[in-house]
Structure formats: C-alpha cells, structure tokens
C-alpha cells in the first residue's frame, strides 16, 4: 500500500547566521493534489511529485507568483520556489479539477 507524503518539512532552518528555506512535497495522485491547501514561508520550495500513470502540467497564473512547470511525466519530481507573500492558486492544465491553494507567509 502506498502512503501519501503530505509534508516533508516546513519552515526555515537556522544554523548560526545561515538560514535555509525548506522543501514541502505535494503529491499528485488520482488526478488530484493530495493536499488541497498548504501554508509555507517565503523562499520555501514546493516539490510536485507525479505519482500517477499519466502526465500533469502544474501551473499558476496568480499575479506575482505565476509559473508553469510544463509536462510532468509519471514519477517525475519538479519544484517551484515561492518568493512572494500571498495566496497562490495552483492548477493542472490537463486536469482542470486539480486545485491547490498555497498560502505564502513572511
């Protein structure tokens, strides 16, 4: 039985004066994002994992946070860094019912 990876990690890691952004995993399965909404910090990376047997095309047309990762093949992991605070609506061009809300906070 396969289990969904909801969140790999969140937040910032600080060691001394060095700060690293974190990565959050969002799995795509059965023509949907397993999470419907996530909250991240500015600079965090969201890794989109295609666990389906067919392609996806994850994108956002949100002002200030638009992106399009193109065709994502089955098993492929592609990532996006979110640099602007606000609410980002993420969808799939191939499967219009796939929707994810990303809340990017400072």
- Phi and psi (nearest 5°) for 30? 55, 45
CATH number where 55 lies = 2.60.40.420
Which pLDDT belongs to residue 19?
52
* pTM of this prediction exceeds 0.75: yes
Q: Is residue 71 part of a domain?
A: yes
CB 52 within 8 Å of CB 28 = yes
The dihedral formed by the CA atoms of 47, 4, 33 and 30, expressed in degrees to the nearest 10: 130
Q: Is residue 76 part of a domain?
A: yes
CA distance 76 to 59: 15
- pLDDT band for position 14 (cuts 50, 70, 90): very low
**pLDDT tens-digit map of 36-84:** 999 999 999 999 999 999 999 999 999 999 999 999 999 999 999 999 9
Which pLDDT belongs to residue 9?
42
Q: Is residue 73 part of a domain?
A: yes
Q: Is residue 52 part of a domain?
A: yes
Domain hosting 91: range is 13-105
- DSSP secondary-structure letter at 22? -
Q: Is 38 exposed, middle or buried (0-12, 13-18, 19+ CB in 10 A)?
A: buried
Q: Is residue 2 part of a domain?
A: no
How many domains, in total, are found in the chain?
Answer: 1
Q: Is residue 6 part of a domain?
A: no
Which pLDDT belongs to residue 21?
74
């Amino acid at each position: 039985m396969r289990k969904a990876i909801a969140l790999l990690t969140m937040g910032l890691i600080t060691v001394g004066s060095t700060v690293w952004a974190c990565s959050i995993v969002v799995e795509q399965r059965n023509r949907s994002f397993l999470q419907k909404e996530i909250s991240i910090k500015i600079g965090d990376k969201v890794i989109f994992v295609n666990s389906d047997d067919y392609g996806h095309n994850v994108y956002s047309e949100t002002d200030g946070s638009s992106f399009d990762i193109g065709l994502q093949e089955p098993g492929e992991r592609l990532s996006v860094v979110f640099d602007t605070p606000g609410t980002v609506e993420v969808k799939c061009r191939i499967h219009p019912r796939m929707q994810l809300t990303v809340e990017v906070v400072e």
